[in-house]
Amino acid sequence: MISESRCPVEDGELLVRRGGEGPALLLIAGGTGSGDAYRALAKQLYADFTVITYDRRGHFGSTDTTTGPVPVARQADDALAVLDHAADGPAQVFGSSAGALIGLDLVARHPDHVTTLVAHEPPAVHLMPDAGSWLEAAAEQVRLARSGELMTAVTRFADAIAGAALPDLPNLRLPHEADWIRLFDRELTEFFDYLPDLRALRKASTEIFPVAGEGSRGRYHYQPAKILALELGLPFTEMPGAHLAPQRNPAKFAAALMDLLNPEP
């Protein structure tokens, strides 16, 4: 049975969902911030974990009364609030894409709240030698979205992600338009500008797994996980599928994720 609750945070309220049995596992969404993006993955995990998901602030069922950019640190503070709200003590955390960046910041500043972090394809482009080109691409997407060319911005965003290209259809209607606008207008620059605190992560007691999908090789969202693993002196793990594998290949991805998390006592 899945339960829903409201988690108060500074300047907002988050819609939280909880289901399953076992140790607590928080799934942090990337993209447009919907906890429901992990619905199929969560179903695969309910037998082994109490799975917690939430809509990021200002997206879908969650609220936000602030204006202006939403820093990664604030997103991580929200994740911490969700853990305090829905988990009984320290928990395991999985984050994909922007959700992985949020997880990394959570661990860097609150390692005692996270026993294990699986960071799937964090777009930490500042770790890459060609960071400038990716920052420029993100800035252009933001400019397009703000100038009324949202569909062009979304198309360029999706085309850069392995397995996420939009279908080439005339007059394609963009679902969840308000959430895409928020992503480009208030979040994307913050995510791409974020550099994980490597010193804090090295000191953290949390077990960290930098991972990327085998289908993402050669894409900008694959390399940062490998570099992060090298910087932290940790193993790098390839997962099944590409960037959207948690949504599109949930059974295979869940099996690989459980191998890392190992719910056995």
Domain ranges of the chain: 2-127+195-261, 130-188
Query: Residue 164's pLDDT is what?
Result: 81
Residues 239, 241, 243, 247: is their CA dihedral positive or negative? negative
Tell the CATH topology of 2-127+195-261.
Rossmann fold (3.40.50)
Query: Residue 1's pLDDT is what?
Result: 83
Tens digits of per-residue pLDDT, 13-27?
999 999 999 999 999
Tens digits of per-residue pLDDT, 141-182?
999 999 999 999 999 999 999 878 766 655 567 899 999 999
- 251 burial type by CB count under 10 A (0-12 exposed, 13-18 middle, 19+ buried): exposed
pTM: 0.97
Residue 106, amino acid: L
Query: Residue 170's pLDDT is what?
Result: 55
Question: How much is the average pLDDT of 43-69?
Answer: 98
- Strands 3-9 and 63-64 turn out to be unpaired
